[in-house]
Amino acid sequence: MFTRISHDRSCGLSAIIGIHDTHRGPALGGCRMWPYASHDEALTDVLRLSRGMSYKSAMANLDLGGGKSVIIGDPHQHKSEALFHAMGRFVESLGGRYIAAEDAGTTVADIRTMGLETDHVAGVREKPAADGVMRSGDPSPATAHGVFVGLKAAVRQRLGREDLAGLRVAVQGLGNVGLRLARMLHEAGARLWVSDIHPEPLARAEAEFGAAMVSGHQIFDLDVDVFAPCALGAVLNDESIQRLRATVVAGAANNQLASPQHGELLRQWGILYAPDYVINAGGIIDVALERKGFHRAALLRHLEGIGETLMEVFQRAGAEGRSTAEVADRIAEARLWA
């Protein structure tokens, strides 16, 4: 594990880059901007996130390691071109060991600004791909598609259902991925309950998908089939798990478990958990394929593989009497250090 810190008072940059592992290739991971309460909170987040990226790449069979970066600041108030130029120089200082991409609080445009200072960015190429399809560089559609595939696999495993018509789903967080996931669920016939800290996406989900808006506190208590956490991490803890009435947890958020023991607690409560770094790998798959020469058909095949990987995890966990989180970790570790 490797971390580096950068402070640039001229533009207000306070950032951390964490690299967890580079055995399989350079460490690729998003650049997150968030108003952390302290430097220690930001450091804890970057360490957890970079580990998750290593495991994510391994489970997706990508030739990449795991890393992450965080910028301490409110993305709605503290962004500037100078800040992202400085962040690009910070990434460049690592000489290619870390490759940055979009994440919570940052946009493709932000990463593109960083790319003016370094070649070590990904998911920003707005150009025709190898199959002639115009690429925006935004990996969130692929992330949402992969989560949708994984959610269907979890529903098939836990509920024995092949379709989602009438399925009751609570979506926590309507960012770039959560809102797209909600749209796909709506189009598949699911009934939706949604929460978010911002009123605009809530109003949109209500108007376009007929979703019921609930508070962030209420989202855990709903009588639904699936809880889909698509906001920030550590939402599955002693208190929230006991409140869940859903029998499936399948969402896009990173680091959903507050601690490893909560994977086992979910198992004990009869809740099937789709390990976060397996189900939300669509974005990094998209970015990795872009680096090699993007083909949409290849991307879709790889995204469908998320469901197959999850079924392997579910079935092995059931056969061995272990949590899906523990089984996924063991498979990822075997691939990381094979």
- In this structure, are residues 286 and 142 in contact, taking their beta carbons and an 8 Å threshold? yes
Residue 177 makes CB contacts below 8 A (sequence gap 6+) with 140, 143, 144, 147, 230, 252, 280, 283
How is residue 257 annotated by DSSP? B
* Spacing of C-alpha 84 from chain mean position: 22
- For residue 291, the one-letter residue type is R
Give the separation between CA 53 and CA 21, rounded to whole angstroms: 9
Q: State the DSSP code for 60.
A: T
Interatomic CA distance for residues 114 and 91, integer angstroms = 8
Strands 127-128 and 65-72: unpaired
Q: Which amino acid belongs to residue 271?
A: I
Q: How many residues does the chain have?
A: 338
Put residue 122 in one of left, alpha, beta given phi > 0 → left and psi -120 to 50 → alpha: beta
Q: Which of 108, 105, 112, 140 is nearest to 33 (CA)?
A: 105
Asked if 336 and 23 touch (Cβ cutoff 8 Å), the reply is: yes
- Residues with catalytic roles: 68
Beta-carbon contacts of residue 25 (< 8 Å; ≥ 6 apart): 57, 62, 63, 64, 65
